[in-house]
Structure 1
Amino acid sequence: MVPSRFSPYRFFSAEEWGHFRAGQPLNLSEAEVERLRSLNDPVDLGEVGRILLPISRLLSAHVEASQLLFRQRRRFLGDGAAEKTPFVIGIAGSVAVGKSTTARILKELLARWPSSPKVDLVTTDGFLYPNAVLEAEGLMRRKGFPESYDVGRILRFLSDLKAGVRHVEAPVYSHLVYDVVKGASVTVDQPDILIFEGLNVLQARDIPPDGKAVPFVSDFFDYAIYIDAEEADIRRWYLDRFMRLRDTAFRDQRSFFHRYASIGEEEALAIAEGLWRDINAVNLRENILPTRPRADLILAKGPSHRVERVALRKL
């Protein structure tokens, strides 16, 4: 994004953003960051303290304001029986850009604030249609595109959470077998904060001319974060990750991609290039990048995979 006088965002360098930490102590260790970060993501304690800790401070302020507004609205409506609703944070961005690492570390940081909020993390992967369905519909090579998700199930999940329903279940996805785990689920029980992470969580749809309500997933978000980077950098990170997985997870015989572990490096790289060009780059250009302006906070990464600039939506 290019700053301009008409932009709805304020822009900060990574160094400027780091000042908003305001002396808040970092209570994560290097070992914990190592455990939380994804393969090929270089985030370290310095990056956490400079970028993510100030974000957690900002989000905590938003959560407190939201809780105050909820109590005031309950008094206004005279609704003493109303259940609390979670503050929902959406995190969007391309594959290989660092969404999962950011979500996991923010979850830990937010949960360690003095108020000790209950924080849950759910990804949209579990809401993908099973591979059998995608195969039958000819969508396997559109996996991760908006049409590959059970959007109705996502909306029911988020709607129940916002309604204060107890014990809401979310499906589970296995990256090892590259499929939804049949019969498996995680239970989310009235958290104070829910982080909902996925490629297309800020996706909008056409609005019907008759004015009827068309719910978007992001309608249930209280705050939205988009992780951004130049396409050439994301492509390089994706290829690097694929080649590293070829030497690690792909060697597990249960892996959906096990067949790539035994082929030559040149052939494997060509396959990764094809997957990027035909699937992930197309999804980024057509569906993911266009949602960037809908975010409240944009983290722009440089070639080193580290955040170089932060864009914060003006109030």
Structure 2
Amino acid sequence: MIPSIDQINERILLGAEGRARYIVALAGPPGAGKSFRSAWLARTLNERCPGSAAVVPMDGYHYDNAVLEPRGLLAVKGAPDTFDVEGLRQDLVRLKRADGDVAVPVFDRPLDLARAGGRVISKSHRILIVEGNYLLLDEGPWPALRRDFDLTLFLDVDDDVLEQRLIERWLGMGQDHAGAIAKARDKDMLNARLIKACSVSADIDWR
């Protein structure tokens, strides 16, 4: 049975009761709707408990193009090894302590770069929705992140739907039709299949 937003909110609020900080990981392939769902979760939680929830996007931890290019990774930007996983892990440790403000980076998709200190998480944000592709990936350095997650969610969307969404995303960013198809199929969908095949099971599968 697919849980409703209200049921997920209830579980989060129950888990967060009496705790200074409760961290929810929302993972899934590119194009699954993580940004929309995480914002929706935060908004509905804040409607019930004003000012309690905030979103921390994993995309803010993209390495800059100036780092990726000399490493030969610019063409595969968005793959697991193009992120500063250790930087995200260190910030999760700081966020978990809930003892002061923590500035986190936010990715600017139109400009294709991360903005340092783009969002400030305050002590009043007791519930954090961390959203990103590889949060549950069971390879490389990614498993170390899971120790700080109190609840995990996974968005699973059929490949044909993902591909169409990703093509539309690239078109919206100015790619021509052939370029949009190539980027969706030859880059994003490779990452999507990796995420689906190599992520650990989440506490909640959310479609």
Does the alignment reach a TM-score above 0.5? yes
Aligned to 2:152: 224
Aligned to 2:179: 271
Aligned to 1:179: 113
Scaled by the length of structure 2, what TM-score is found?
A: 0.90
Gaps of at least 5 residues in structure 1 are 1-11, 18-50, 71-83, 208-213, 251-256, 261-267, 301-315
Of the candidates 184, 201, 206, which is equivalent to residue 294 of structure 1?
Answer: 201
Structure 2 distance, partners of 1:291, 1:91, is 16
Aligned to 1:56: 9
Contact 1:107–1:195 (Cα < 8 Å) also in 2: yes
**Are 1:109 and 2:44 matched, yes or no?**
yes
SS at match of 1:216: helix
Gaps of at least 5 residues in structure 2 are none
Contact 2:166–2:188 (Cα < 8 Å) also in 1: no
Aligned to 1:152: 86
Structure 1 distance, partners of 2:66, 2:140, is 28
Contact 1:205–1:216 (Cα < 8 Å) also in 2: no
Structure 1 distance, partners of 2:129, 2:118, is 17
SS at match of 2:106: strand
Structure 2 distance, partners of 1:272, 1:97, is 17
SS at match of 1:200: coil
Of the candidates 45, 48, 52, which is equivalent to residue 118 of structure 1?
Answer: 52
Scaled by the length of structure 1, what TM-score is found?
A: 0.61
Aligned to 1:137: 71
Which of the pair has the greater relative contact order for Cα pairs under 8 Å at 6+ separation? Answer: 2
Aligned to 2:32: 97
CA shift, 1:291, in A, is 4.6
Larger radius of gyration: 1
**Quick one: structure 1 residues 154 and 269, their matched pair in 2 at CA, closer, same or farther if it must change by over 3 Å?**
same
**2:90 alignment partner AA:** R
Structure 2 distance, partners of 1:163, 1:237, is 37
Structure 2 distance, partners of 1:153, 1:199, is 16
Contact 1:131–1:180 (Cα < 8 Å) also in 2: no
SS at match of 2:60: helix
CA shift, 1:202, in A, is 1.1
Report Cα offsets for 1:142-195 as digits up to 9, x if no partner: 2121111111110110001112331112112211111123x5432212221011
Contact 2:137–2:200 (Cα < 8 Å) also in 1: no
CA shift, 1:206, in A, is 5.5
Of the candidates 198, 213, 216, which is equivalent to residue 132 of structure 2?
Answer: 198
Structure 1 distance, partners of 2:104, 2:148, is 16
SS at match of 1:294: coil
Aligned to 1:265: none
Report Cα offsets for 1:46-88 as digits up to 9, x if no partner: xxxxx32222122222222xx3xx5xxxxxxxxxxxxx3x100
Structure 1 distance, partners of 2:43, 2:15, is 17
**1:275 alignment partner AA:** K
Structure 1 distance, partners of 2:39, 2:106, is 16
SS at match of 1:136: coil
Q: Tell me the percent identity.
A: 25
